[in-house]
Amino acid sequence: DVKVTQSSRYLVKRTGEKVFLECVQDMDHENMFWYRQDPGLGLRLIYFSYDVKMKEKGDIPEGYSVSREKKERFSLILESASTNQTSMYLCASSLAGTGEQETQYFGPGTRLLVL
Amino acid sequence: GQNIDQPTEMTATEGAIVQINCTYQTSGFNGLFWYQQHAGEAPTFLSYNVLDGLEEKGRFSSFLSRSKGYSYLLLKELQMKDSASYLCAVGSNDYKLSFGAGTTVTVRA
């Protein structure tokens, strides 16, 4: 089974703090993704990566950056956390193929509260 | 871009059938995915359709009509554990999936 893990289930930070969210997958997947999920808005893509050291902006990259130094690990960084970044953050991974190989497998999520 | 629409909420009785519709308008299409997400948990993959027609997997079936930009997820013999949010997502040949906002299904005894 694909396993995607995230470093924290719950996180409370203060405005202006630098926040690191870590994601690790154990299935040798090429692609990794960071989403945020808010009520009524669904899943919105922040950044994704299709290879080590490669990254692409998603739909809402402002205020975020990412790092992928190793294939299995994809980090999301909030340089200066703001209250509007309070959300559920979900990491996912998938193979590099097309069609059903694009199936994404999700981690358990990190619920971030910025005070 | 992608525009994916699905109803916000549905309620049904245990043992009944519920059909969740999803319509999409996309600039590219490489398959349609359905995910299930229980409250506070991660989405889990349910089904994938790329050809027109019905795919059946036990109590769950998924249908696709590419010409109409339409899919549905059919949940039969509803159980209380089926209470969850169901997400429709479209793949578009660029590794990314575009997700609908999700349909929350509540199963009542």
Task: Evaluate the CA torsion angle A99, A102, A105, A109 in order and state its sign.
Answer: negative
| Of B26 and B15, more confident | B15
Residue A2 has pLDDT above 70, yes or no: no
Residue B99 has pLDDT above 70, yes or no: yes
Q: Give pLDDT, residue A105.
A: 95
Preferred mutation among A23, A27, A37, A74 to probe B, highest tally of B CBs within 10 A: A37
Subunit contact B48:A100, Cβ cutoff 8 A:
yes
Is A9 within 8 Å of A110 (Cβ atoms)? yes
The 3-class secondary structure across chain A, one letter per residue, is CCCEEECCCEEEECCCCCEEEEEEECCCCCEEEEEEEECCCEEEEEEEECCCCCCEECCCCCCEEEEEEECCEEEEEECCCCHHHCEEEEEEEECCCCHHHHCCEECCCEEEEEC
Q: Is A1 on the interface with B (CB under 8 A)?
A: no
Residue corresponding to tokens 């405005």: A15
Q: Is A27 on the interface with B (CB under 8 A)?
A: no
Q: What DSSP state is assigned to residue B80?
A: G
Burial class (CB in 10 A: 0-12, 13-18, 19+), A19: buried
| Of B61 and A97, more confident | B61
Q: Is A100 on the interface with B (CB under 8 A)?
A: yes
**Rounded CA separation B105/B82 (Å):** 8
Number of Cβ pairs closer than 8 Å across A and B? 55
**Rounded CA separation B78/B15 (Å):** 5
| % chain B with pLDDT above 70 | 99
The mean predicted confidence, pLDDT, of chain B is 94
Residue B80 has pLDDT above 80, yes or no: yes
Q: Give pLDDT, residue A58.
A: 94
Neighbouring-strand partners of residue A105: A93
**Rounded CA separation A40/A45 (Å):** 15
Residue B1 has pLDDT above 90, yes or no: no
- Three-state DSSP at B12 gives strand
Position A8: which residue type? S
* A97 pLDDT tier (thresholds 50, 70, 90): confident
Subunit contact B41:A42, Cβ cutoff 8 A:
no
Q: What is the mean pLDDT of residues B81-108?
A: 93
Both tokens assigned to B83: 């209470």
| % chain B with pLDDT above 90 | 85
pLDDT digits (tens, 9 = 90+) for A14-73: 999 999 999 999 999 999 999 999 988 889 999 999 999 899 999 999 999 999 999 999
Residue A9 has pLDDT above 80, yes or no: yes
A86 contacts: CB under 8 Å, gap ≥ 6: A112, A113, A114
Preferred mutation among B57, B62, B95, B98 to probe A, highest tally of A CBs within 10 A: B95
Residue A1 has pLDDT above 80, yes or no: no
Distances (CA, A) of B22 to B10, B32, B34, B99: 13, 10, 10, 11
